[in-house]
Structure 1
């Protein structure tokens, strides 16, 4: 039995995630009290995987109870469970509440920020325990559905999903990352006028980065390290792993490294999803060769 528990702060996209999982063939139940979940799973075997929406507003919700439930499900034979946490920064949540003119459920009589800050504090231990963390701050509903599909669509292959990201150190480390590699020492295409407006998905940029005499040794060492650890993570029961490559602007070197590592790991049979944070932010994900 596969069970995906979906939680996160109000306004971060839990309903959209539940709907996306339902479209992938999951049976979905939203706002189910925590105390009822063990009874649900103790019943007759379910014909479809199960998606459970967990809301901090439920009367029996607590971070401690949810973490205890997650640990219990991980120990159950015959149950493959994941805790999906949808994250979002406070300013974006405030804007979303302002646009929809909704009151925050944890501060119905006060300003939304008061409830948002309280809920983020309440959920922090849950966020740290999440098996899969998706930051929806800069994701459209369509992009969130695509991300959900990458992680949870039924498919054959290895038992662990890999997410490969690129990012800019100027904007800080991505959230929920397991392994980070710094590639700022490689030759920077930004200083080549003909390459500046391209990104790491363009062949000319990838070739320029790969021409650095330090590139081959760096890539092979990183590939070997990752490959040596993946089966060990699987043995420990980990169902997802996020690997990030960073550079100064998050547009050239980190993107080129993330693209190549994604291809190599996919060729080895791993389920791989990609995200280029800075290209997403700038609206450049239409693909290489487009006007930027």
Structure 2
């Protein structure tokens, strides 16, 4: 039997600031059938790949602890690997807010590799600044600030190692504007102009996964033309992004509480695009957290807030 690995080697490079979850991500990829190597020196990567395709895809963990690590060296390596027709390379960047990294270092009482004799805060600031050009080049960006290790494993499985292992992965996320924009989105659409189910007492405690809530949102005369245009737009841009080699596209829908309208729209769009053959990962940020962040009570009926 001949597999894709007989002709082409897939290499996933996992990086990001120290404490963002690289070890968890590498372990998740190993569990998904990757051959995982953490903290490999950058200079050894070309030699590793020049020996010919391996039986399994590679997951390589890279960060500032590597003895020859430098952002420009990593980006040069990416360019060199991308020029090889026998290699498919993807860069996964695990992002994390500085205050969360500080808390993690405080909990583990570990020294930061870029500030062994100083405070972790100093090292974190240096590393975030150092890694900016690498972050900008990432094909897949995962913000781990509010993810548990289990959540991160799930995101890695969805975005990096889906069941069929090929193609661009579309991540659709609903969220509340009161808690800010999620990181890693390529396109954000505001659906606060749609009629808010919160103001219907019988719908207030339900969410956008409920058929009654979805029916209420869809009954807004503006919903159908909006949805059709969004679907056409996404169908237009996804093949172009895939042709450019992008492996992940993040699309977000936001509303006041992240419970009704944004959820309903995301729930409607995800199966439509999955039916087109795209790998779709669907997440409702506020529902995953539990509770109602906005409550809806501070917005007047009929207002766009």
Using structure 1 for the length normalisation, give the TM-score. 0.93
Q: Deviations over 1:127-161 (max 9, x none)?
A: 11110011111111111111111123353386211
- Contact 2:174 / 2:266 at 8 angstroms: preserved in 1? yes
- Contact 1:169 / 1:247 at 8 angstroms: preserved in 2? yes
- Contact 2:38 / 2:61 at 8 angstroms: preserved in 1? yes
Structure 2 stretches lacking a partner, 5+ long: 1-8, 293-305
Q: Which residue of 2 aligns with 1:164?
A: 172
Q: Does 1:96 align with 2:104?
A: yes
1:24 aligned residue (15, 32, 56): 32
Q: Distance in 2 between matches of 1:121 and 1:195?
A: 46
Q: Which residue of 1 aligns with 2:298?
A: none
**1:167: Cα distance to partner?**
1.5
**1:283: Cα distance to partner?**
6.7
**229-238 vs 11-20, greater mean Cα deviation:** 229-238
Q: Which residue of 1 aligns with 2:5?
A: none
Q: Does 1:253 align with 2:261?
A: yes
Q: Which residue of 2 aligns with 1:207?
A: 215
Q: Which residue of 2 aligns with 1:225?
A: 233
Q: Does 1:276 align with 2:284?
A: yes
Q: Deviations over 1:93-131 (max 9, x none)?
A: 111111122222221222111111111111111111110
**1:62: Cα distance to partner?**
1.2
Distance 1:213 1:144, change over 3 A: same
**1:71: Cα distance to partner?**
2.3
Q: Which residue of 1 aligns with 2:153?
A: 145
Q: Which residue of 2 aligns with 1:183?
A: 191
2:43 aligned residue (13, 32, 35): 35
Q: How many residues align?
A: 284
Q: Distance in 2 between matches of 1:259 and 1:115?
A: 41
Q: Which residue of 2 aligns with 1:62?
A: 70
**1:66: Cα distance to partner?**
1.2
2:17 aligned residue (9, 14, 24): 9
Q: Distance in 1 between matches of 2:291 and 2:80?
A: 41
Using structure 2 for the length normalisation, give the TM-score. 0.89
Equivalent residue of 1:94, what SS? helix
Structure 1 stretches lacking a partner, 5+ long: 285-292
Q: Which residue of 2 aligns with 1:235?
A: 243
- Contact 1:158 / 1:269 at 8 angstroms: preserved in 2? no
Q: Distance in 2 between matches of 1:197 and 1:254?
A: 15
